[in-house]
């Protein structure tokens, strides 16, 4: 009897752990972009989507994440994450980020789109590299399909 209880407890525990909703580390140089299939190597422009069920989609560029989301609008997403340009490899909440489109800062897919944790940081980079600053809602029409 104790063995059956242990097995049931183990199965339930594994089921609960596997449904955890949160980001997963991006393995740069190994993971592929869900949208364009390129290998993710750029730590300043990578991004992730996490569904309400905990499935994680990884992208090599913010524009790939936005285009994927637009093409898969039947999926409910819990988290929209982008790398902070000034802290490469650090994922931040895309819905709270400030974005810069600057021809002087290349992104992997050519949209020249970067994300910043703080608006002041985006404005500082804009002053030296040019471009336009946007929030999450303002950036949507500039990328892919509406």
pLDDT tens per residue across span 44-93: 999 999 999 899 999 999 999 999 999 998 999 999 999 999 999 999 99
Find the Cα–Cα–Cα–Cα dihedral 62, 67, 72, 74, rounded to 10°: 80
| % residues pLDDT > 70 (the chain) | 84
pTM of the model: 0.83
**How far is Cα 109 from Cα 102, in angstroms, rounded to an integer?**
13
**How far is Cα 83 from Cα 65, in angstroms, rounded to an integer?**
12
Mean pLDDT for all residues in the chain:
88
Pull the structure tokens for residue 26: 């991006």
3-state helix, strand, coil in the chain (%, to 5): 35, 25, 40
Write the CA distances from 14 to 11, 19, 53, integer angstroms.
5, 9, 15
Residue located via tokens 């093409």? 71
pLDDT tens per residue across span 112-143: 999 999 999 999 999 999 999 999 999 988 77
């Amino acid at each position: 009897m104790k063995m059956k209880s242990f097995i049931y407890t183990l199965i339930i525990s594994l089921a609960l752990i596997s449904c955890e909703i949160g980001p997963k580390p991006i393995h740069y140089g190994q993971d592929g972009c869900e949208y364009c299939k390129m290998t993710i190597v750029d730590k300043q422009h990578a991004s992730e989507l996490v569904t309400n069920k905990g499935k994680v989609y990884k992208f090599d560029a913010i524009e790939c994440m936005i285009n994927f989301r637009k093409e898969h609008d039947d999926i409910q997403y819990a988290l929209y994450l982008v790398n902070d340009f000034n802290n490469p490899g650090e994922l931040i909440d895309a819905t709270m980020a400030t974005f810069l489109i600057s021809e002087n800062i290349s992104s992997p897919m050519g949209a020249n789109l970067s994300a910043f944790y703080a608006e002041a940081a985006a404005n500082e980079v804009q002053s030296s590299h040019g471009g336009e600053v946007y929030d999450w809602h303002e950036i949507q029409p500039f990328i892919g399909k509406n």
